Amino acid sequence: MEGYWLFLVLLVSALLLGFLSVLFALVWVFHYREGLSWDGGSAEFNWHPVLIITGFIFIQGIAIIVYRLPWTWKCSKLLIKFIHAGLNTIAMILAIVSLVAVFDFHNAKNIPNMYSLHSWIGLTAVIFYTLQLVLGFAVFLLPFAPVSLRASLMPIHIYSGLLIFATVIATALMGVTEKLIFALKTPAYSTSPPEAIFVNTLGLLIVIFGALILWMATRPHWKRPPEQNSKIQQPNGGTPEGTEEESTVTDCSNTDKSDVEFNSEAAARKRNLKLDEVGQRSTM
């Protein structure tokens, strides 16, 4: 893999920033806000930023780059598809629960629903994300779609996935800013109180995390190599060990070299036998 160490540095950095973003979200709601509960109050609303950052941003980001992890290139692509779909399903469930928390809180407090640009774009992102997941299951995971259809839809699937991910990040930044403007009265948001600085830092972490994920997901030399009749590359750019004939029977173990060694030994025995026959004939 070209640029393996750079990829590794970016991956570790993205994971660290993702964990920090989730941690910052929890500190925000427990230290500066009312914590978490499910009682129709402000603590129920707090589930919304926590679940969005955890599922819709962090887990979705990991799902996007799971194909790019070089140590999974010896795994069956079907297995990676299930992991990709599973992570996206978890992200979708968390996003839907976060929406339920918001609507429940608004209804309990008689606050109008769906009046802000944040809510419009956010609900649109959830709807398109759900459609993306359902179509992905139907076309790429189930064995019914023809190969030509998969090939034609793959660029659209990739583009729409990255677009939804970037849209979610932008919507989250709108949401946390909106929340701070509404919640911080004394002192006001414009005076930069500690909570405002803390949440602004959270926004920066989310932006950098998203930028790293998008960068890793769009570098062509970090793309998973084709499985059919292609050499399996080592993560460190070393010598390939073999070829994959069928992706459905490939697992995550190292390539077994025993057959190659056995064939080499057999060939050596045949050469020795031929030499013996030539020697015997020369003495006759």
In this predicted structure, what is the pLDDT of residue 226? 83
Is residue 260 in some structural domain?
A: no
Q: The CATH number of the domain where 172 resides is what?
A: 1.20.120.1770
Over residues 199-229, the pLDDT tens digits come to 999 999 999 999 999 999 999 999 998 865 4
pLDDT for res 149: 94
Q: Is there a domain that residue 259 lies in?
A: no
Would you say 159 and 170 are in contact if contact means Cβ atoms under 8 Å apart? no
Is residue 134 assigned to a domain? Answer: yes
Phi, psi of 243 (to 5 degrees): -125, 155
pTM: predicted TM-score of the whole model, two decimal places: 0.80
Report the pLDDT value the prediction gives residue 236, as an integer from 0 to 100: 45
Count of domains in the chain?
A: 1
- When computed from its CA atoms, the radius of gyration of the chain, rounded to whole angstroms, is 27
237: its two tokens: 């750019």
pLDDT at 270: 52
Asked if residue 71 is part of any domain, the answer here is yes
- Taking 70 as the pLDDT cut, the residues of the chain under it are 227-284
Element (H or E) spanning 281, and its range? helix 258-283
Assigned domain for 20 exists:
yes
Enclosing domain of residue 186: 4-228
243: in domain:
no
Specify if 10 maps to a domain. yes
Distances (CA, A) of 64 to 13, 67, 162, 212, 265: 16, 7, 8, 11, 45
> Is residue 256 one of the residues assigned to a domain?
no
71-123 tens-digit pLDDT: 888 889 899 999 999 999 999 999 999 999 999 999 999 999 999 999 999 99
